[in-house]
Amino acid sequence: MRKKVGAQFIVISNTNLIRYSHPDPKMIGKHMVGNDDKLVLHGQGSITQATGTLGLSIRGKYPIYNLQHQQIGVVSVGFLLQDIWKKITSLILEIIGIGIIALIVGLIGAFILSGHIKKQIFNLEPYEIAFLTKQQAAILESIREGIVAIDTDGNITTLNQEAKNMLDYGSDGLNGTAITSILPNSRLTEVINDGIPHYDQQMIVGNNLVVVNRVPVKLNGEVIGAVGSFRDKLHLDHLENRLADIGNYVDTLRSQRHEFMNKLHLISGLIQMQEYELVKELIDKVHTEQQNVLNFFLAHIRDPAIVGVLMGKMHRAKELGIHLAVSENSDVKERCPHREIILTILGNAIENAMEAIQAFDSKKEASKINVYMKEEIDHLYVEISDNGPGIDPKLGNKIFEDGGTTKGENRGLGLALLTRLVARQNGSIKMISSLEGATLQVSLPKMEV
Percentage of residues in the chain with pLDDT exceeding 90? 14
pLDDT at residue 395 in the model: 63
Cα separations (Å) of 256 from 150, 184, 251? Answer: 53, 48, 8
If pLDDT is split at 50, 70 and 90, which confidence band does 399 have? low
| DSSP sequence for 167-222 | HT-TT---TTSBHHHH-TT--HHHHHHH---EEEEEEEETTEEEEEEEEEEEETTE
Paired strand residues for 18: 31
pLDDT in tens, 136-176: 778 877 777 888 899 988 888 888 888 887 777 665 667 77
Query: What is the pLDDT averaged over residues 368-375?
Result: 91
pLDDT at residue 97 in the model: 94
| DSSP sequence for 86-109 | HHHHHHHHHHHHHHHHHHHHHHHH
If pLDDT is split at 50, 70 and 90, which confidence band does 404 have? very low
Is residue 48 within a helix (H) or strand (E), and if so which, with residue range? strand 46-52
pLDDT at residue 73 in the model: 93
3-state secondary structure of 324: strand
Cα separations (Å) of 235 from 144, 159, 379, 437? Answer: 9, 20, 26, 33
Query: What is the pLDDT averaged over residues 124-132?
Result: 83
Query: What is the pLDDT averaged over residues 400-426?
Result: 63
What integer best gives the mean pLDDT of the chain? Answer: 81
Burial label, 274 (beta-carbon count in 10 A; 0-12, 13-18, 19+): exposed
If pLDDT is split at 50, 70 and 90, which confidence band does 92 have? very high
Structural domains of the chain sorted by starting position, each given as residue range(s) with its CATH number in brackets: 1-122 (3.30.450.20), 126-231 (3.30.450.20), 275-445 (3.30.565.10)
Rg (CA), the chain: 49
If pLDDT is split at 50, 70 and 90, which confidence band does 449 have? very low
For residues 189 and 182, give the distance between their C-alpha atoms in angstroms, rounded to a whole number: 13
Most confident of 102-106, 237-241, 389-393: 102-106
For residues 322 and 399, give the distance between their C-alpha atoms in angstroms, rounded to a whole number: 24
Chain centroid to CA 151: how far? Answer: 11
Query: What is the pLDDT averaged over residues 203-222?
Result: 82
- Which residue type, as a one-letter code, is found at position 27? M
Question: Residue 2 above 50 pLDDT?
Answer: yes
pLDDT at residue 411 in the model: 43
Report the alpha-carbon angle 10-12-14, nearest 5: 165
Question: Residue 307 above 80 pLDDT?
Answer: yes
pLDDT in tens, 30-41: 988 878 888 888
Higher pLDDT, 62 or 286: 62
The torsion angles phi and psi of 320, rounded to 5 degrees, stand at -85, 0
pLDDT at residue 235 in the model: 65
User: Which of 16-25, 133-142, 217-226 has the weakest average pLDDT?
Assistant: 133-142
9-14, strands of its sheet edge to edge:
9-14, 71-80, 55-65, 46-52
Angle of helix 414-424 relative to helix 339-359, nearest 10 degrees? Answer: 150
Question: Residue 365 above 50 pLDDT?
Answer: yes
